[in-house]
Amino acid sequence: MKTDNILTEEAIEEAFLLDHSLCSGAAADVKKGGARSLKAGGLWIYDNEIDRFEGDFEDGDILAVRDFDGYFLGWGFVNRKSRICIRMLSRREEPEVTPSFLKKRVRAAWEYRKKVIDTSSCRVIFGEADFLPGLTVDKYEDVLVVESLALGIDRLKPLILKALTDILAEDGIRIRGIYERSDAKVREKEGLPRFKGFIGGSFDTMVQITENGVRYIVDVENGQKTGFFLDQKENRRAVARLCPGARVLDCFTHTGSFGLNAALAGAAEVTSVDASELAIEQAAENAKLNGFAPESVPSGSVSTGSVSSESVSSESDPSEKESSEESGWLISSEGTRLRYLCADIFELLPELHRKEEQFDVVILDPPAFTKSRNSIKAAVRGYREINQRGLRLVKDGGFLATCSCSHFMDPDLFRDTIARAARDAHKRLRQVYFGTQAPDHPILWASEESYYLKFYIFQVVEEG
């Protein structure tokens, strides 16, 4: 049985009712010494590890995979256009892959989340780590956001989503809409077009969620990735514990999550910075959603001890600085002051250092500086620079929170890069915390692509 993305609801229902095999009947034989990643516990077989194919099939079909000596290795979907030629769905010969097989996979993923995390908003399916390679599904309250990065999983997507919505309904969760964010450039390596849009009926794509007691509006249509970075949930909580009474600099704030966790934990002052005007606008709206309002400043008064708008641009319109709302500061009922600046972090950090600004907590949550092994050297330079400059802004005894979200930046290399940055800045580091992605983004050992987030908190002390 073949599947595609335009199956009718009736056809999907019939597929589950009949539960026929989804396998093509064709097979792939691996070269002697091939499939090393698979045999070590991974899910990928590369194109140069395939000896030959047997039988009729097309790219996207599910094949039997055999070792060079005929030993059965499992079932996987094939794409000869991709360097990752086969992605494995199962290592067992029986049962074959069927709609009910997929539903069991989805149910296992959901039951796992129910045990390890608040499921109001979470990653429900995390690709290879849930043995559904190439597929990500995030749940934001009653909305699902889907990302498909492989041809084979693209064909199975209608069945998987049907299984997921049915399983959620069993727990009383009614999904009001599904949005697809399969717009990553990596799809082109699979011969797939980039796509974003509604699956089924349209709905309001601005979704309100709550995480760690902080409220956010998630833009599932135009936000980065699927709209929100759910993977930092535990790390945001760890940083917040250090922030009561603190002066905080939150760099690469995106929609404001680290800064808001710090502010609501009782920070005295939080400055959150991002290069994206859209992100800054969304972050400011999220602050207002959490009770922050424009600070009233008496005419002619000047705030002291704060990052000034001149730190960002010397060309700001003086008339804009007269408006407390436009110039930045928001204030909570508890007195925490919060502002958002649109600026290039690589330009802002040295400017703050020249102005001798100091913070109790500096947070560095940059985007992935490398998305391939070919750009690791440039990424190391970038991480070293921002960490060195960030460290120089931390008060003696203060804290630096820093991370990398690229799995190509391996843990040892990232640790070494931070150590070099500390030497450059003449600072000593006392490790307070090490974290990774939240448990709804599980790390499957032997599947290195599932481990990507490295997160440190250090206390920063002067060399003595």
Instruction: For residue 87, give the amino acid letter.
Output: R
Does the CA dihedral 181-186-190-193 come out positive or negative?
positive
388 within 8 A of 421, measured Cβ to Cβ: yes
Does the CA dihedral 120-126-131-134 come out positive or negative?
positive
Could you say which of 85, 122, 403, 405 is catalytic? 405
Q: Please tell me the distance from the alpha carbon of residue 111 to that of residue 200, in angstroms, as a whole number.
A: 26
**Which structure tokens are listed for 172?**
């009383």
Give the residue ranges of DSSP H helices in 302-362. Answer: 318-321, 324-327, 345-354
Q: Please tell me the distance from the alpha carbon of residue 217 to that of residue 150, in angstroms, as a whole number.
A: 29
Give the residue ranges of DSSP H helices in 355-441. Answer: 376-391, 411-425
Our answer to whether residue 23 is catalytic in this structure is: no
Q: Please tell me the distance from the alpha carbon of residue 277 to that of residue 185, in angstroms, as a whole number.
A: 23
| Nearest residue to 336 via CA among 291, 397, 370 | 291
| Nearest residue to 165 via CA among 190, 138, 144, 188 | 144
* Nearby residues of 354 by Cβ (< 8 Å), 6 or more positions away: none
Cα-trace Rg, the chain: 25
97 within 8 A of 86, measured Cβ to Cβ: no
**Which structure tokens are listed for 371?**
């998305």
Three-state secondary structure of 119-178: CCEEEEEEHHHHCCCCEEEEEECCEEEEEECCHHHHHHHHHHHHHHHHHHHHCCCCCCEE
Does the CA dihedral 248-252-253-258 come out positive or negative?
negative
| Nearest residue to 351 via CA among 246, 249, 457 | 249
Helix (H, G, I), strand (E, B) or coil at 330: strand
Q: Please tell me the distance from the alpha carbon of residue 425 to that of residue 392, in angstroms, as a whole number.
A: 6
Instruction: For residue 48, give the amino acid letter.
Output: N
Q: Pairing state of beta strands 359-364 and 394-404?
A: parallel
Q: Using the 8-state DSSP alphabet, how is residue 201 labeled?
A: S
| Nearest residue to 191 via CA among 331, 58, 12 | 58
Instruction: Show which residues are catalytic.
Output: 405
